[in-house]
Amino acid sequence: MPVSALVLTLSPDPAEVLCRLSSRSNLHLGELIGDRLPITLESPDVRSAAREIEALAEESGVSHVDLIGAYYEEDL
Amino acid sequence: MDRRDFLMASALAAATAAAKGVAAPEPPSIEGVRWAKAPCRFCGTGCHVQVGTKGGKVVAIAGDPKAEVNKGLLCVKGYHVGLALYGKDRLTTPLLRKNGKLTPISWDEAIQKVVERIQLDPKGFAIYGSGQWTIPEGYAANKLVKAALRNNQIDPNARLCMASAVTGFLATYGVDEPAGCYDDLDRCDVLVLWGNNPAEMHPVLFSRVIDRRSRGEKVTIIDIGTRRTRSTGHADHYLEMKPHGDVAIANGILHLLVQRGTYDKEFVERHTAFRAPANPPTLEGAPISFDEFKRRIAEYTPEKVSRLSGISEQDLRLLADLFGNKKLRITSLWCMGMNQHTLGTAINCLVHGVHLFSGHFGRPGDAPTSLTGQPSACGTAREVGTLCHALPGGGVVTNPEHRQHAEAIWNLAAGSVNPKPGYHTVELWKRFSKPKSQGGDIHTIWSMVTNPGQSLPNRNALFDPSRKDPSKFLIVSDVYPTETVRAADLVLPSALWVEKNGMFGNSERRTQQWFKMVPPPGQARDDCWQLLAVARALHEAGFAGTRDKDGQYLFRIVKDGKEVPVWDWRHYYDVNVDEQLFEEYRKFSRAKHKDLAPYQEYVKARGLRWPVVQQANGTWRETRFRFAEFDDPYVAKGKGFDFYHSTSKDGRAQIWFHPYAPPPEVPDAEYPLWLCTGRVLEHWHTGSLTRRIPQLHGAMPAAYVEVHPEDAQRLGVSQGERVVVESRRGKLVVPVWINGRGAPPVGTLFIPFFDETMLVNRVTLEAHDPFSKQPDYKKCAARLRKATAQELTG
């Protein structure tokens, strides 16, 4: 399963979006730093990773997504 | 902790460091994975990635925290760049068309076939490359054409991409490429986007500005465009203009600065001169007085500009207010919107002029900066000079001194370099498309690292005819079976990105280097080797042009005093060919103050911005801001600014007057809509790499036509319906997207060009700027109609 390292920039009052994100089993949330939230995303295959990242960008309460790394050895 | 938990922890640590804005730890230490640096293979931003390899494959990508460009961040394309190597249909063996079918042949046969085509008539043999050539590849190709074949028939697809930026810089400063750099994005108070969509096309750069906002800094974004994009969503002001309206807007700003007296009088008096078009037209134009400039600009009143451009007088005054305020720092960005324009040189000059006239120039944050679309459009096309009129280091073949300089470095007899430019891209492909009896004097084109079958405008006229003429021969070096490969007579399989050594030069004058990390598949080989193998085979066949004036082979590569037979693939990596070619090339770079450091300095760095000069202590120092005393080593203390390649020969930059003119083709009763073409976030250019990356293909699987809801209703077409979009040149069938990612105004369509199954360049026109020769892909007249049953199944 590919692993993606991401930083989400959250809108003001992030409590609700943090609650939603923390309930997802494929996301591991780091500590919120200002309005920036480091996370990792596990995807079932390389095909679905981009769709999931795109969906995160569209998520209410997420204003921006930065990508830091992709690890996909097992999927080649 | 198992291996997977360790990987997750490492990934989260990298993300946390990036979120804190501090240097991240090294890439995760994963068993058996080796990490090394490389610039991303895609756009001209020049992000550095850390490439993780294992077992001869790229298995991981991470943003490089040591890279100033991207500070550890990547966009969705960069993040998946490693997968570009692993499409299922990589080309792995040379192929020759026999009886209509591409058939495997050996490399020896393939190289001999290229040599045969050269020997048929060297004058009619051309190389067509791109800003995806590495610097050494481009240098080898340029030397082969300009020193050996001596016909100057070489041009890159960068002609389609940033040639107007080049002519704009040359006409304004006398030398190419931006004065500022990406640091301006960290310091500007106002960011003006001139027909530019960096949120999708240069997202890492755009995120530098968005990050500043998220930290509470105020950055005003002005988006001047013909359609709403993702960048518009972040803009404080969206100024929707008519096609070509930018020329009127820039003139309108200059008019108001004059009228209000808010231009920078001291800067203008000390550092600028005025120019206007000459008759007959030349790139240098004719000098005019400031009074004459004021007289000409006087007609661009807000009323007239509003009428020509479509923006309101109030919005024009807003722009003049901002540029008239010296307390602000203003950066302008542009890319294809201003460059793919039949007034491309004019609008580039005008935007430089707005910055110079208002004094928003030469301080960090105050800069007019063009962005490039390809990873080495600057490094290879512009700096190495792989254009048909250019020589390495900013020289031109029409200048006797530049030719002598090249002849000295190449050790050629005086008069060897041909003073006549070759054909620019549109003309080259026109000549290739015509029979010889009708002036079609180009019989063979060797296309490398580009896909003209999809990217040339008006494909039906510029690409298809030669494919029906048996006297014409198309050679294609590429990695995947593209539209161009499918039409080729000879196919040469190429190594890609970290399958070879390489160097790129990004949009901010930054030269970057990487080493080969994994082997290419099958028999795929480096483009640079292909060029050197052809040069050697020519040499062995007795071709006189491959010898210098002392009879030595032009491409002699020497190690420990002995010539290395690098034309033999088994010995190509016995020596670092890139280093040898680069060390020769960099001798050209000082003539125009584009000084490059020794190759080994780039091995240590995440790129260096030229001019890179050696300091008293022996270290090498890059230059962030050119022409300004505070940073440019070539500006003498006390001068403030010095435009040391000034076309007026007095250290001054040129502020141009260029009148508005309408586009060459405008909607009419028969073709009532504007058509604009462009790119999308997920795909890079013609999509030949990104459409083979499952994540990116899945996210954006096919092209579409963006249609305004009112137009859709009026034309009776619905969301997703496959319709015909056609012009006087051709047509395509494409699905409708209403309220899509971009939002064109009523009367305008937008189609991206990444999809080889829906070729919008059958519809575009090849009209081009008179100086840059860059075609206008952003505006032509088209119509949209329902497709017939035959068109839907055809």
> Whole-prediction pTM value?
0.94
Strands B154-156 and B125-129: parallel
Per-residue model confidence (pLDDT) at position B514: 98
d(CA B794, CA B791): 5
Whether B259 sits among the annotated catalytic residues: the reply is: no
Residue B207 contacts A where some CB pair is shorter than 8 Å: yes
Whether B162 sits among the annotated catalytic residues: the reply is: yes
Torsion angles phi and psi, residue B488, rounded to 5: -80, 160
Omega prior to B400 cis, within 30 of 0: no
Cα dihedral B234/B238/B240/B245 (nearest 10): -100
User: CB of B222 within 8 A of CB of B190?
Assistant: yes
Whether B161 sits among the annotated catalytic residues: the reply is: yes
Per-residue model confidence (pLDDT) at position B23: 57
One-character DSSP codes across B326-366: TTS-EEEEESHHHHSSTTHHHHHHHHHHHHHHHT--SBTTB
Residue B57 contacts A where some CB pair is shorter than 8 Å: yes
DSSP state of B772: T
Residue A62 contacts B where some CB pair is shorter than 8 Å: no
Whether B77 sits among the annotated catalytic residues: the reply is: yes
Chain A from 1 to 30: CB within 8 A of any B CB: 3-7, 9, 28, 30
On the question of pLDDT at A74 being above 80, the answer is no
Buried b (16+ CB within 10 A) or exposed e, B566-584: bbeeeebeebbbbbbbbeb
Strands B731-738 and B705-707: parallel
Contact flag A39-B12 (C-beta cutoff 8 Å): yes
Q: Report the interhelical angle of B527-540 vs B577-585 (nearest 10°).
A: 80
DSSP state of B743: B
3-class SS of residue B790? helix
Helical spans, DSSP H, in B67-214: 76-79, 107-120, 135-143, 163-173, 183-187, 198-201, 203-214
Q: Which of B161, B349, B517, B780 is catalytic?
A: B161
Nearest neighbour of A7 by CB, restricted to B8, B19, B33: B19
Chain B from 210 to 249: CB within 8 A of any A CB: 210-211, 214-215
Consecutive 10-residue runs of chain B (794 residues): their mean pLDDT?
A: 74 82 67 92 95 94 91 85 94 97 98 98 98 98 98 97 97 96 97 96 91 90 97 96 97 98 98 97 97 98 98 98 98 97 98 98 97 95 98 98 98 98 98 97 98 97 97 98 98 98 98 98 98 98 97 96 97 98 98 97 98 97 97 97 97 98 97 97 92 86 97 97 98 96 96 97 97 97 97 89
pLDDT interval class at A51 (50, 70, 90)? confident
Cα dihedral B614/B272/B166/B190 (nearest 10): 90
- Count contacts between A and B (CB, < 8 Å): 132
DSSP state of B84: G
Helical spans, DSSP H, in B614-721: 694-699, 709-715
d(CA A35, CA B568): 56
Q: Compare all CA atoms of chain B with the CA of A49 and give the residue at the minimum distance.
A: B695
pLDDT interval class at A18 (50, 70, 90)? very high
Whether B373 sits among the annotated catalytic residues: the reply is: yes
Tell me, what amino acid is at B749?
A: L
Cα dihedral B162/B167/B173/B177 (nearest 10): 20
d(CA B605, CA B448): 28
Whether B374 sits among the annotated catalytic residues: the reply is: yes
Residues of A in contact with B15 (CB under 8 A): 5-7, 30, 38-40, 68-69
Q: What is the token pair recorded at A71?
A: 């690890």
Torsion angles phi and psi, residue B162, rounded to 5: -145, 20
Tell me which of A52 and B350 has the higher pLDDT.
B350
Residue A36 contacts B where some CB pair is shorter than 8 Å: yes
3-class SS of residue B206? helix
Top residue of B35, B45, B79 to mutate, by most chain A CBs within 10 Å, is B79
Tell me, what amino acid is at B208?
A: R
Residues of A in contact with B50 (CB under 8 A): 69
Q: Compare all CA atoms of chain B with the CA of A73 and give the residue at the minimum distance.
A: B59
Chain B from 608 to 667: CB within 8 A of any A CB: none
Number of residues written out for chain B: 794
On the question of pLDDT at A75 being above 70, the answer is no
Residues of A in contact with B14 (CB under 8 A): 5, 68-69
Strand ranges for B433-574 from DSSP E = 444-448, 473-478, 490-493, 502-505, 510-514, 558-559, 562-563
Residue A55 contacts B where some CB pair is shorter than 8 Å: no
Residue B29 contacts A where some CB pair is shorter than 8 Å: no
